[in-house]
Structure 1
Amino acid sequence: MSLNRLAPLTPNAWLRYDVIGRMMPPHVADVLEIGCGQGALGARLSARYRYLGLEPDPESFAVAEARFAELGGGQVRNASVADLAPEERFDLVCAFEVLEHIEDDQGALTQWAEHVRPGGWLLLSVPAHARRYAAADELVGHFRRYDPEQLAALVAKLGFENVNVREYGAPLGYLLEYGRNAVARHRLAKVTDASMEQRSGASGRLLQPANPAASAAARYGTAPFRLLQRTLPHGPGVVLRAQLPGSGA
């Protein structure tokens, strides 16, 4: 079964994946993904690396577990970072669209950094620019969005070096965000009693391609925009890569 069919990405995730692929650090053997959702991106990483994904939401975990079982590679746990043993460390710790869901983001980054080997890497994606916080952010349980320099400062406080931050998504990402905000304004009235934790848990299940045709449309429809965004230094999302000092991973 093809990865495209087994693990579909949303249009915005295709834009993000293009940037993540070009920012993957060298000499990585094992990868920890925090908040792997339904495992779509993790399935792709597991084809290249020894992979462990953590997903606390039981519904998303069940989908991810089935996908990895079909792939026959990688591992996923219905767990959080707090459940890892202290000695479990990785060449690369990554979290895509996760940090903005956590109220104590500096505390979370400190915890994540404990599982990066000396010389290893941290790779993050978050929604960009505090001024763009809107209905879609509120709906899915975002505490904030990040200005690129703000995100870089957070990881620098933990001693990470070689910090590389890239915005992505223009121009299609702006249109997709506009659509998400329009949908969210209608849905917010129905989730007024939902906690931030509940909204965050459900966020990974929103807007997922429902069938192979939708998955293929997302992949091929975004192809020219993935190339175009490489020429544009801005967008509604940001990816950060940083290295922990020490011996090579």
Structure 2
Amino acid sequence: MLSVPAFEERFGPMDVHAGHFRRYSPEDLDQRILAAGLRTDTIRAYGWPLSYALEAVRNRIDAKKLAAARRRGTSAAELTAASGRTFQSPALRGVVIAVAAATLPFRYAQRRPTPGIGLVAVATRPE
């Protein structure tokens, strides 16, 4: 199982900050899985509808962070190492709980086939 960012046209500051080099279409991901000698079982998009809004906000925030990091000479590796901790400070535990509760309906909505900002693929080795 793997998760990748989806749809090249969505590439933005959030991707650079996270250390992504590209985004994938379902077809491209399927071809890469096959090239690795695996069989694709499923590929599903996720993140709709809420992640579209969150992505727009994160792109604005991360564009500012990237500009500041460039001025300081921060490396891409340092940015990537810190990217997974955005909005996840232990001091924000109450915020994390509130966000989890508020996003519950959206987590169920994205279980049906939808567009999204990420892809999840399940693949197996052929026998």
Same fold (TM over 0.5): yes
| Coordinate RMSD, CA, aligned | 1.5
User: For residues 212 and 142 of structure 1, what CA distance do their matches in structure 2 show?
Assistant: 27
Question: What are structure 1's unaligned runs of at least 5 residues?
Answer: 1-122
Higher mean C-alpha deviation, range 125-134 or range 194-203: 194-203
User: Contact 1:152–1:163 at 8 Å: present in 2 too?
Assistant: no
Equivalent residue for 1:143, pick from 15, 21, 24: 21
- Scaled by the length of structure 2, the TM-score of the pair is 0.88
User: For residues 220 and 159 of structure 1, what CA distance do their matches in structure 2 show?
Assistant: 40
Equivalent residue for 1:201, pick from 44, 69, 81: 81
Superposed, which structure 2 residues align to 1:75-224 within 5 Å?
123-192=1-70, 193-209=73-89, 210-224=91-105
1:141 is displaced (CA, Å) by: 2.0
Counterpart amino acid of 1:225?
Answer: F
Q: Residue 118 of structure 2 aligns with which residue?
A: 237
Higher mean C-alpha deviation, range 192-201 or range 237-246: 192-201
User: For residues 199 and 212 of structure 1, what CA distance do their matches in structure 2 show?
Assistant: 23
Counterpart amino acid of 2:86?
Answer: L
User: For residues 14 and 40 of structure 2, what CA distance do their matches in structure 1 show?
Assistant: 32
- Scaled by the length of structure 1, the TM-score of the pair is 0.47
Say which structure is richer in helix.
2
Counterpart amino acid of 1:212?
Answer: R
Question: What are structure 2's unaligned runs of at least 5 residues?
Answer: none
Question: RCO greater where, 1 or 2, for CA within 8 Å and sep 6 or more?
Answer: 2
Q: Percent identity?
A: 39
Cα shift readout 1:103-122 (whole Å, capped 9, x = no counterpart):
xxxxxxxxxxxxxxxxxxxx
User: For residues 205 and 132 of structure 1, what CA distance do their matches in structure 2 show?
Assistant: 21
User: For residues 64 and 103 of structure 2, what CA distance do their matches in structure 1 show?
Assistant: 26
Cα shift readout 1:153-172 (whole Å, capped 9, x = no counterpart):
11111111143100011110
